[in-house]
Amino acid sequence: MKYSGIKIVMVMLAVSMLTACVKKLDRFPANTLTSEDAYKDLAGYKRVLARVYGSMVLTSQNAPATGGFGNGDVKGVDEGFSDFFRNYWTIQDMSTDMAKWKWADPGLYDIQFNRWGADNPLVEGMYGRCMLVITFANEFLRESTPEKINARGINANEIKTMRAEVRFVRAYMYWALMDLFGNPGFVTENDPFGTFTPPQIKRADLYKWIDDELKAIEADLPAPRANEYGRADKAIAWALRARMSLNASVYLSLAQPAITDFTPYYTEAVANSKKVIDAGYTLMPNYQWLFLADNHIGNTEAIWTLNYDGVKSQSYGGATFIINGTASGDRQPLVQLGGLGGWGAMRATEKIPQLFPDVTGAGDKRSLWYTDSQTESMNDFFDYQYGYPTTKYRNRTRSGGYGNDPNRTFADIDIPVSRLAEMYLIYAEAVKRGGTGGSESQALIYLNALRTRAQVTAAPLGFYTLDYVLDERARELYWEGFRRMDLIRYGRYAEANYLWPWKGGVRNGTAFDVNRKILPIPSKQLAVNPNLKQNPGY
């Protein structure tokens, strides 16, 4: 497409049906297009919209027919690790008590042993993926202004909705950068493309920008559950605001002037989570259905998902990474449960299974672990036998079939970015932390709804405490990419007050540098952008 007189190459996604841009993603090989070619009609805008969404789940510029790999779109990073969810999940869960990976993949031991630096390839890949998605979003926004829409004679109403969706995706990427890196580079559609060197934005300022952006686009987003599956609507904007508000004490800890009372933010978390809860979502009747190959069918709980297809949107990220990483070829029952082959690398530390009454699922049906030939305690980090693999994600359907890929290599499981259960838990925690506008009695109703679905046995008197909510988040949301964020919010991530196996690289765990609550700005970014300054401690 053309911008400022410069022709650039952009990968386009073919949309074979109305919903193709969100569930059944397909790809063209790269084409050199001018903006007038790409945006000449409504269908062209929808193809570019698909690319914005697809850039979170696809990793290559090659089409599936040519193998789908080998031309990664985040340069300098192993393509297999460049999927957004895989990278984000690795940092959020593998740097905690949640999961460990035995293979010596570049940079992975440093993530798991909490000793990463600015040259870590996973840190680079995470930053690069977010900025790539932001780049696509900014270009869409530059090409969809009212002036350009009118000049092309295109119906502005649908484009207006698309613009709001793209602004949400961009806000979500900036939230991930804020959560992980604190103070990233910042660029919008109002900045020139190409030679512009982004300034660095402070974490507190970025928080305000994201929150303002989410409020600004709310009116133009479709009503909850009114958009195509996998596309953004009002509910996910509310959900992200609720998540941000719950973590405001972390994100705004260095705000100037300093904030000492976070009650208003907890009140916002209560209000926004309640908006989502009241928007018509319901818990799926079976917890495991949320993580199957057909989890896009009749999913009443998912607020927003990253959508994968085993044939048309292949990558080694998403649930493909989780299932293959978890399964092992010498544990054939585990492979059959998952429906994919096995790499035999990933297991949970004993801390997570021990949160359940019984690892077999007795007393809590969410406890989904494979225990045959396994030892619960991770006494040996490098031996797959130590630690339980989870069977939470399965590339099988509710009827027992497999996903779409006939070779059973790639998963069809859509990843829930946010779902109703998270909103229940945000409401409960925010109320307990002093947020107004809610009640503990209502919070108990939500917590007990999760317990009822899980068939949890009777709770002890007074179970509703902040510690209970933290543990319940681990039981409900385990292996979904929340643990680092939760432990930081509770002051138990880097500190010595909570230890887990291999924390800090020591079998029984040890505290590590509190500066690692924020990742470093990658060295390669510092080298090309003099506006960026490194985060403290690196």
Q: Where in the chain is the domain with CATH 1.25.40.390?
A: 35-221+517-528
Summarize the confidence of residues 88-115 as an average pLDDT. Answer: 97
Summarize the confidence of residues 343-359 as an average pLDDT. Answer: 97
- In sequence order, the 6+-apart residues with CB closer than 8 A to the CB of 391 are 326, 334, 337, 338, 368, 369, 370
Stretch among 117-126, 153-162, 268-277 having the lowest mean pLDDT:
153-162
Summarize the confidence of residues 361-376 as an average pLDDT. Answer: 96
- Closest Cα to residue 18, out of 228, 226, 158? 228
Q: How confident is the model at residue 197 (pLDDT cuts 50, 70, 90)?
A: very high
Q: Mind listing the pLDDT tens digit for each residue in 398-430?
A: 999 999 999 999 999 999 999 999 999 999 999
Summarize the confidence of residues 146-163 as an average pLDDT. Answer: 92
Summarize the confidence of residues 386-390 as an average pLDDT. Answer: 98
The pLDDT assigned to 71 comes to: 74
120: pLDDT strictly greater than 70 = yes
Q: Mind listing the pLDDT tens digit for each residue in 287-341?
A: 999 999 999 999 999 999 999 999 988 889 999 999 999 999 899 999 999 999 9
Summarize the confidence of residues 467-472 as an average pLDDT. Answer: 98
Q: Regarding beta strands 100-101 and 346-347, do their DSSP bridges make them parallel or antiparallel, or are they unpaired?
A: antiparallel
The pLDDT assigned to 63 comes to: 53
Does the reported pTM lie above 0.85? yes
Topology of domain 35-221+517-528, CATH:
1.25.40
25: pLDDT strictly greater than 60 = no
18: pLDDT strictly greater than 90 = no
The pLDDT assigned to 217 comes to: 98
The pLDDT assigned to 34 comes to: 61
Q: Residue 246 is encoded by which pair of tokens?
A: 């719950």
How far, in whole angstroms, is CA 274 from its chain's centroid? 22
Q: How confident is the model at residue 66 (pLDDT cuts 50, 70, 90)?
A: very low
3-state DSSP assignment of residue 32? strand
189: pLDDT strictly greater than 80 = yes
Could you give the CA distance from residue 515 to residue 513 in angstroms, rounded to a whole number? 5
The pLDDT assigned to 459 comes to: 72
Q: Where would I find the beta strands (DSSP E) of 69-153?
A: 100-101
Q: How confident is the model at residue 68 (pLDDT cuts 50, 70, 90)?
A: low
Helix or strand holding residue 489 (H, E): helix 483-489
23: pLDDT strictly greater than 60 = no
The DSSP symbol for 414 reads P
The pLDDT assigned to 313 comes to: 85
Could you give the CA distance from residue 429 to residue 413 in angstroms, rounded to a whole number? 29
